[in-house]
Amino acid sequence: MPILLGPYLAETAVGMGVMGAIISGTNAAAKNIERVRTGSASEKGALIDVGNEVVKNGVATAATFAVVASLGVEIVAAVGVTLIVGTTLKYAWDRGRDAVEKDLGNRKNRPVKSSARVAKVSPARAAASLAA
């Protein structure tokens, strides 16, 4: 007896997250194939973008499904809640990722500050301490 993937995954929030990840992964792959073909993205950059989309949308889909399922609302309200929660989660993820990337980019350009003091030791004193 074959297992039908769609109905099987649609039973749980994790399953819905997997479906969201699969769908967004195919969309991101199609977008990035064109970007690599035209030279506007490297293969590594394209793979990173696909991975980011898969994780982000899988998590957002699972969380959205969990919220909607816990409310037990009718179909029209469920669609509305899905749009609001899903959009909010994706927006928050993107803004958070942008903030982290900006902070990491700023850190690369800053000199490293050290609060540790380095003791100045003469070569003779260093040799004497090693010999002891």
Phi, psi of 74, rounded to the nearest 5 degrees: -70, 170
**Mean pLDDT calculated for residue range 60-64:** 92
In contact, 57 and 26? CB cutoff 8 Å: no
CA-closest candidate to residue 3, choices 73, 83, 11: 11
**3-class DSSP state of 55:** helix
All residues at 6 or more sequence positions from 8 whose CB lies less than 8 Å from its CB, including other chains? 15
pLDDT of residue 125: 72
pTM of the model: 0.67
Percent of the chain past pLDDT 70, that is, above it, reads 81
- pLDDT for residue 37: 95
**Rounded Cα distance, 79 and 75, in Å:** 6
How confident is residue 7, by pLDDT bands cut at 50, 70 and 90?
A: confident
Which residue type sits at 27?
N
Average pLDDT of 53-60?
A: 93
Dist. CA 73–CA 113, nearest whole Å: 55
Lowest-confidence segment of 70-74, 103-107, 126-130 by average pLDDT: 126-130
pLDDT of residue 51: 95
What local confidence, expressed as pLDDT, does residue 101 receive? 83
DSSP code at position 74: -
Which is more confidently placed, 129 or 85?
A: 85
How far is the C-alpha of 117 from the C-alpha of 108, rounded, in Å?
23
